[in-house]
């Protein structure tokens, strides 16, 4: 069993890195943020899980041991394979996963590519009581960030002529449905909100 790797990054892709350890290059599937931030020639340490199949041996790696632990829990859910579990950890933080399970909220999982409504519900049901609750600090940070994004997006929509009520409702719905990456960009959320509001021209108040 290969439980960890520490070596030099030889190459990267959208969903993987190749790490050289002792002259051997290991191809490891990783969350998107790890793949995007890894730099060729730099050192990288990963906590890994070796998935054995009849036709392949596949490595999955994470920078934090708690992510590897949650990866294992996700694999225990009916219908969740390694790639889907990796997708969940690439889309949501460990705290966000734990919070969604604790709140019996399958919506965050339904927004992950490859996770359907039935599987999303199974994740919440089958992981109940298995994950550590998110830290209060992390929960407060998520709430503050979400509130700030909604406020900025509402102001932008009002500036384009939408009523305060309609703007706030659209901003809240858009932020709730957006990916973590999109929440970092008000302009990206604004495009989504305008698309959801329909063909009415900006500057024409509604509601």
Does the structure show a pLDDT above 90 at 171?
no
How many helices (DSSP H) and strands (DSSP E) are in the chain? 10, 5
Token representation of residue 132: 């550590």
Q: What is the mean pLDDT of residues 133-139?
A: 56
What does the DSSP 8-state code read for residue 130?
A: T
Q: How far from each other are the two terminal CA atoms of the chain, in whole angstroms?
A: 60
Chain mean position to CA 49: 19
pTM more than 0.85: no
Return the H-helix or E-strand segment holding 108. helix 107-110
pLDDT at 141: 45
pLDDT at 188: 75
Q: CB-based burial of residue 155 (10 Å sphere; 0-12 exposed, 13-18 middle, 19+ buried)?
A: middle
């Amino acid at each position: 069993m290969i439980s960890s790797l520490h070596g030099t990054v030889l190459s990267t892709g959208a969903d993987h890195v190749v790490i050289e350890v002792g002259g051997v290059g290991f191809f490891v599937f990783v969350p998107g943020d790890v793949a995007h931030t890894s730099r060729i020639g730099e050192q990288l340490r990963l906590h890994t899980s070796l998935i054995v199949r009849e036709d392949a041996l596949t490595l999955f790696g994470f920078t934090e041991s708690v992510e590897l632990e949650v990866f294992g829990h996700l694999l225990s859910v009916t219908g969740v394979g390694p790639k889907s579990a990796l997708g969940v950890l690439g889309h949501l933080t460990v705290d966000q996963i734990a919070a969604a399970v604790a709140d019996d909220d399958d919506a965050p999982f339904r927004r992950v590519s490859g996770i359907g409504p039935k599987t999303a519900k199974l994740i919440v049901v089958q992981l109940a009581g298995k994950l550590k609750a998110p830290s209060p600090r992390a929960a407060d940070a998520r709430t503050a960030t979400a509130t700030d994004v909604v406020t900025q997006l509402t102001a932008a929509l009002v500036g384009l002529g939408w009523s305060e009520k309609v703007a706030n409702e659209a901003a809240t719905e858009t932020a709730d449905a957006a990916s973590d990456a999109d929440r970092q960009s008000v302009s990206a959320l604004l495009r989504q909100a305008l698309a959801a509001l329909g063909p009415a021209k900006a500057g024409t108040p509604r509601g």
